[in-house]
Amino acid sequence: MSAHILSDAEYHRATAAILAAVESHVDRWLDDDVIDIDTHRNGGVLEMTFPNGSKIILNTQAPLHELWMAARAGGHHYRFLDGQWVDTRDGSEFFASLSKQATAQAGQALVFASAA
């Protein structure tokens, strides 16, 4: 995999779009009565609280041009490589990992996808 070095502006646009896409999924699930996940966004931090009280926190790390995810199973750091955000340790794609963690914490299948 090769890194595309994002400019600061590209990084901020890309991470803002990711947080917006995640919020949009959660809002749709609430509207469709799938699951009630409470979200709270403060700048580059999005906190999702699941019905069982567990949380997933997404946090932009502008100095590193990374996106971090803290979930019950642990923390993950993502960098933009080959057109997608991939885990710096295991190479997994961000939305696939988020779906896996959310499914585990919700106790039901939840699938997040990029808005693009």
> pLDDT (tens digit, 9 = 90+) per residue, 16-27?
999 999 999 999
CB atoms within 10 A of CB 16: 12
The pLDDT value given to residue 47: 98
In whole angstroms, what is the distance from residue 29 CA to residue 15 CA? Answer: 21
Map out the domains of the chain as residue ranges: 8-106
The pLDDT value given to residue 27: 96
The 8-class DSSP code of residue 34 comes to: S
Whether the Cβ atoms of residue 92 and residue 85 lie closer than 8 Å to each other? no
pLDDT in tens, 46-101: 999 999 999 999 999 999 999 999 999 999 999 999 889 999 999 999 999 999 99
> Could you give the 3-state DSSP secondary structure of residue 116?
coil
CB atoms within 10 A of CB 73: 13
107 has a pLDDT exceeding 70: yes
Give mean pLDDT, residues 101-109.
Answer: 97
Alpha helices in 1-63 (DSSP H): 8-31
CATH 3.30.70.580 for domain 8-106 = no
The pLDDT value given to residue 114: 77
Amino acid letter, residue 76: H
